[in-house]
Amino acid sequence: MSEMSLSDLIKLTEIPLLVRFTAVWCAPCRAMKPVLQDMAGDWDGDVDFWEVDVDEDPDTAVSWSIRSIPTLVLIDENGDELGRLIGLQTRKSIEDMLLLHFEEEE
């Protein structure tokens, strides 16, 4: 994770965040990473994609009640949770969650 904490980022952001709670040893987390990296380009300007390593930042994981990884949490610009997906997800399932809350601009 970068020098900025998730709570700091939430205070500064003007767009929603999709946070992936992960760990380097987690195979499903690694499998999902390229999907999210690709999606980040498609959603640029609408949703900011962020990653929290639960081993490096356990306090943040606890504060967001993360009990399993990978977990994706969609957080609005006010810091409120809009949605959550637990376990390995397909691009479609992630996009479906995003589209429930936002219209992707082409």
Residue 60: partners with Cβ closer than 8 Å, 6 or more residues away: 5, 6, 7, 52
User: Is there a catalytic annotation at residue 18?
Assistant: no
Long-range contacts of 61-70 (CB under 8 A, 24+ apart): 61/21, 64/6, 64/19, 64/21, 66/21, 69/21, 69/22, 69/23, 69/26, 69/28, 69/29, 70/20, 70/21, 70/22, 70/26, 70/28, 70/29, 70/32
Which residue out of 6, 18, 29, 47 is catalytically annotated? 29
User: Is there a catalytic annotation at residue 19?
Assistant: no
Which residue out of 26, 36, 39, 69 is catalytically annotated? 26
Residues designated as active site: 26, 29
